[in-house]
């Protein structure tokens, strides 16, 4: 005899729900990465425009050149053919390198970055 006090509603298998949530979060992360890349590219355009009549002077500073390189590299990574390629996980290092800018924005973090980089590259 079945007890009618308990009704279990299960419309989708649990595995399907988990897969759907994972796909949704993956799409959200991809959209977020695209938004950050767009913002980074926009910042580069504004910084180059700020140097306008002498826009070549923008490239004389090493940090500007490196930021421009990262902006271009991160933009290229967003191309769907590259995103689905087997080399994509290796190219994400350029996306991670953008964090150096956050570290340099806080003066107390710069010595930590310099110390860590010296240990890694020596």
Report the domain count for the chain.
1
Residue 110: inside a domain: yes
Largest Cα separation within the chain, whole Å, is 86
Q: Phi/psi at 96 (nearest 5 deg)? A: -70, -30
Residue of 105, 49, 39 lying closest to 70 (CA atoms): 39
Compute CA 95 distance to the chain's CA centroid, rounded to the nearest angstrom.
5
pTM of the shown model: 0.63
Residues 6+ apart with CB under 8 A from 76: 82
Asked if residue 1 belongs to a domain, the reply is no
Q: Within 13 Å of residue 23, how many CA atoms lie on the same side as its CB? A: 6
Give residue 60's domain range. Answer: 37-121
Q: Could you list the pLDDT tens digit for every one of the 122 residues in the chain?
A: 555 555 555 555 656 656 666 666 667 778 888 888 888 889 888 888 888 888 778 888 888 888 889 899 988 888 888 888 888 888 888 888 887 777 777 777 777 766 766 655 55
């Amino acid at each position: 005899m079945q007890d009618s006090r308990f009704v279990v509603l299960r419309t989708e298998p649990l595995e399907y729900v988990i897969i759907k949530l994972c796909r949704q979060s993956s799409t959200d992360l991809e959209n977020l990465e695209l938004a950050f890349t767009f913002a980074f590219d926009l910042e580069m355009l504004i910084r180059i425009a700020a140097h306008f009549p002498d826009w070549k002077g923008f490239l004389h500073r090493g940090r500007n050149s490196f930021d421009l390189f990262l902006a271009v590299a991160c933009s290229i990574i967003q191309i769907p053919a590259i995103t689905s390629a087997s080399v994509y996980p290796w190219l994400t290092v350029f996306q991670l390198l953008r964090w150096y800018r956050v570290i340099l924005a806080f003066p107390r973090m710069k010595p930590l970055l310099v110390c860590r980089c010296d240990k890694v590259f020596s």
